[in-house]
Amino acid sequence: MDKINLERIRTWSEKALKEYLILRNKDVDGDFETLVFRVFSAIENETPIDNESEDRQRLLVCEYKSKLILRGCVIPDPFSLKKNWLSESGSGLYKWPSIYYTDIEKYLRKLEQPDELMNRLDSDYKEGKAYRYYKCEFVKEIYFHEITEESDFCFLKSRVTPSQRTSSTPYHVWAAVKKDNERPGGEINSAYCTCIAGLLGCCNHVIAMLFRVEAAVCTGATKPSCTSVFAKWKVPSGIKTVLTHKPLCDV
């Protein structure tokens, strides 16, 4: 395979690379360039599609699509929304819906999470330790998307670093959350993470992003009148590096 083909693979989205590899039972860990070379190698070796993987992938796609159904209506895939994401350091923070711990708890209970996890989160929260889930800038800058002006729900998305390896490639996380209107929103409809356990929508990375939003809501940082609070609210600096490497639409 010549250089042109490698270049061509680099034009694929990260999602497309991963789908290609999953279908062939290949590892999907690593940065973009690692995925490109793995796909390159699979094409070169004519690695066939693994039938079991294909079935599994079909199920995963169905599961993923079910997250994009809101009260009977289909909402767009946040990964396909290229424009109109409002950054946390811009005006996005003021649009974050009022997610409180009760919303996070209700969402996790809806997903029938084990009592052990619920009890641990409950204790951590009551002991003021929920920050542990997003400390050390594990959760990068959070972006807001209104979907449409009329939509009752919005998207929040971020990149979350695997907690054990702060230098490794962050996972992509999103959540569909009810907007604040006349009444506070915060109801979590669905969430997703690109980590191995992320399809369920309740991995540590999703929880970390939700807890960081909750902290901003509880401290008043999401209210434009609280300018002194915003001054103290820390937007993760890591995003600056991320943006120089990849356009925002790929987040």
Binding residue for Zn ion, selected from 176, 195, 210, 216, defined by CB under 5 A: 195
Shortest separation between residue 169's beta carbon and Zn ion, angstroms: 12
Binding residue for Zn ion, selected from 9, 121, 177, 193, defined by CB under 5 A: 193
Shortest separation between residue 117's beta carbon and Zn ion, angstroms: 14
Applying CB under 5 A, does 198 fall inside the site for Zn ion? yes
* Closest to Zn ion by CB, 191 or 216: 191
What DSSP state is assigned to residue 65?
H
Nearest-CA neighbor of 75 among 86, 85, 64? 64
Residue 167 in contact with residue 241, Cβ under 8 Å?
Answer: no
Nearest-CA neighbor of 251 among 156, 136, 138? 156
Applying CB under 5 A, does 140 fall inside the site for Zn ion? no
Nearest-CA neighbor of 155 among 78, 247, 46? 78
Number of residues located near Zn ion, criterion CB under 5 A: 5
Residues 144-173 that bind Zn ion (CB under 5 A): none
* Closest to Zn ion by CB, 20 or 174: 174
Applying CB under 5 A, does 205 fall inside the site for Zn ion? yes
Residues 212-231 that bind Zn ion (CB under 5 A): none
What DSSP state is assigned to residue 68?
T
* Closest to Zn ion by CB, 21 or 203: 203
Applying CB under 5 A, does 203 fall inside the site for Zn ion? yes
Which segment (21-29, 94-102, 114-122, 189-197) binds Zn ion by CB under 5 A?
189-197
Shortest separation between residue 180's beta carbon and Zn ion, angstroms: 26
- Residue type for 48, please? P
- Residue type for 23, please? L
Q: At what angle do helices 204-218 and 101-110 cross, to 10 degrees?
A: 150
Tally of residues, the chain: 251
Residue 80, number of CB atoms within 10 A of its CB = 9
Which segment (29-37, 161-169, 203-211, 219-227) binds Zn ion by CB under 5 A?
203-211
Calculate the alpha carbon distances from 164 to 136, 160, 168, 169, 204 in Å.
Answer: 11, 12, 9, 12, 12
What DSSP state is assigned to residue 10?
H
Shortest separation between residue 101's beta carbon and Zn ion, angstroms: 20
* Closest to Zn ion by CB, 176 or 203: 203
Residues that bind Zn ion (CB under 5 A): 193, 195, 198, 203, 205
